Amino acid sequence: MKTSLFGSTGLAMLLFLAAPVWAADETESATAKEMNLALLARIEKLEAELAAVREAVQQSTAIATRAETNATKTAASVIKVKKFASAAADASYAGAPSDSKWHLAGYADVGFVGSNGPNADSFVTGKFNPSFHFQYKDKLIFESELEFLTTSDGKTEIELEYSQVDLFLNDNMTLVMGKFLSPIGQFQERLHPSWINRIQGAPAGFGHDGIQPASDTGFQLRGIIPLAKSKWTYAIAVGNGPRTNSEGGVAFEGVGRDDNRNKSVGGRVGFFPTPYLEIGGSYLTTRVNGYMGPGAPGLILGGPIDARYELWGFDASLTKGALAARVEYLSSNRDMLFSSTLEDPAGILLPELGMEAWYGQVSYRLSKIGDSDFIHKLEPVIRYGEFRISGQNELEEENAQNRLNIGLNYWLSPTIVTKAGLEWRDFTVAGVDSETLYQFQMAYGF
């Protein structure tokens, strides 16, 4: 019994003691459950946040990729712009690379001529000679020069001095086609423009009604032959040739239609032993028809109506520093032929015509004399020449002469000059009075 009591009591105590423990366990279980739920909610929240972060990262990656692509494109554009700018800079340095280019050049002059001869002292308007140059790549150039003149009675004359296409065949050879200045000698092709010519007029025989051919219409092959330290130049020309004028002379004015079946063939060869010395030789041969003036009834049959015409000459120039010395000589011969003239429109036999002209000229710029700028711009010049004609009395009376020029030039700039000069014309035909001219001129090459 006692045992049983102890046992019952113990069990009761155990129960008594166990009850709160049981109760405590239940409380803890509930708390854990709540905590689990909270954790679960937190995890879900974290997962949601993670998903959001992932999406944000993906979007950022896409944006970064697009940005990188744009940056690459921009860099490529920058490179293109840089290349373009560099090319533009090069182009502006070396000149615009256009295929066609042009240039307006030329010269003009005004002046005064006094004389002790029959003509009154006169102001002269001189000439206005614009020249146009059009170039296509480095292949060809078209060039043309007009000459505007005021005549003694106030009219304006316009002449086409030359109009030619220059085709560059290779580095050293050019084909010239059209109306060109005669390559015979030096004066006509290179020295006659008033801003280049040191004296107001042409040397005797080298102007109009002279021996010097002015121009021809046809073609030229011209160029350069380098030879060691020296240089050769050449110009071979074929053209329509000259015509007989109403005074019986030979006019070489670049006619647009040939009046016979013979072309003129001629040219010049130049040699440069040193860069400052040039020696040249010229030759031309052709045939020339008699003159058929307006109203002429016709030429006499049975005689020569065309004649051989030959011209030859030489020239030399020494140009070094302030000194320029030149000499030219030309000689021509035309056989006899029947021709009408103003005096004999029905036609007469014109005898053989011979012409000969030469001149020598020296100019010296005082650029190294003293310290004065005024003195440095002065340039004295002297020229002497002779022109002889045989076989045509009228031409001889009017033109055959000895001519002496002295002058003093003042250069306002390298291309603007004022000239003051005296010219003595001593005509060779007996009875023709000599003449003294006082010449002033301002010329501008532009």
Instruction: Name which position in 125, 128, 308, 397 contacts another protein (CB under 8 A).
Output: 308
CB of 434 to another protein, least distance (A): 31
Q: Is residue 90 at the binding interface for another protein, with CB under 8 A as the rule?
A: yes
Q: How many residues contact another protein, by CB under 8 A? A: 72
For another protein, the closer of residues 162 and 338 by Cβ is 162
Neighbours of 14 (CB within 10 A): 10
Three-state DSSP class for 1?
Answer: coil
Q: Is residue 216 at the binding interface for another protein, with CB under 8 A as the rule?
A: no
Q: Is residue 212 at the binding interface for another protein, with CB under 8 A as the rule?
A: no
For another protein, the closer of residues 66 and 82 by Cβ is 82
For another protein, the closer of residues 101 and 293 by Cβ is 101
Report which DSSP code applies to 276.
Answer: T
- Tell me the two tokens of residue 80: 């293109």
CB of 311 to another protein, least distance (A): 14
For another protein, the closer of residues 23 and 104 by Cβ is 104
For another protein, the closer of residues 411 and 424 by Cβ is 411
Instruction: Name which position in 1, 5, 94, 120 contacts another protein (CB under 8 A).
Output: 94
- Between CA 42 and CA 139 the distance in angstroms is 87
Tell me which residues in 271-300 interact with another protein (CB under 8 A). 275-276, 278, 285-287
Three-state DSSP class for 315?
Answer: strand
- Between CA 163 and CA 142 the distance in angstroms is 8
Q: Is residue 195 at the binding interface for another protein, with CB under 8 A as the rule?
A: yes
> How far are the Cα atoms of 261, 306, 338, 346, 392 from residue 300, in angstroms, in the given order?
20, 12, 7, 7, 19
For another protein, the closer of residues 151 and 413 by Cβ is 413
Q: Is residue 375 at the binding interface for another protein, with CB under 8 A as the rule?
A: no
Long-range contacts of 134-138 (CB under 8 A, 24+ apart): 134/100, 134/101, 134/102, 135/100, 135/101, 135/102, 135/103, 136/99, 136/100, 137/99, 138/168
For another protein, the closer of residues 115 and 233 by Cβ is 233
CB of 98 to another protein, least distance (A): 7
What kind and span of H or E run contains 373? helix 373-376
From residue 148 to residue 187, the character string flagging contacts with another protein as x (rule: CB under 8 A) and all else as - is: ------------------xxxxxxxxxxxx--------x-
CB of 190 to another protein, least distance (A): 5
Q: Buried b vs exposed e over 328-365: b needs ≥16 C-beta within 10 Å?
A: bbbbbbbbebbbbbeeebebbebeebebbbbbebbbbb
Instruction: Name which position in 10, 226, 273, 298 contacts another protein (CB under 8 A).
Output: 226
Neighbours of 381 (CB within 10 A): 20
Instruction: Tabulate helix, strand, coil % of the chain (nearest 5).
Output: 25, 45, 30
Question: Which residue is listed with tokens 């030359």?
Answer: 162
Q: Which listed range, 4-12, 25-33, 263-271, 354-362, lies at the site for another protein (CB under 8 A)? A: 263-271
Tell me which residues in 396-435 interact with another protein (CB under 8 A). 411, 413-415
CB of 305 to another protein, least distance (A): 13
For another protein, the closer of residues 199 and 400 by Cβ is 199
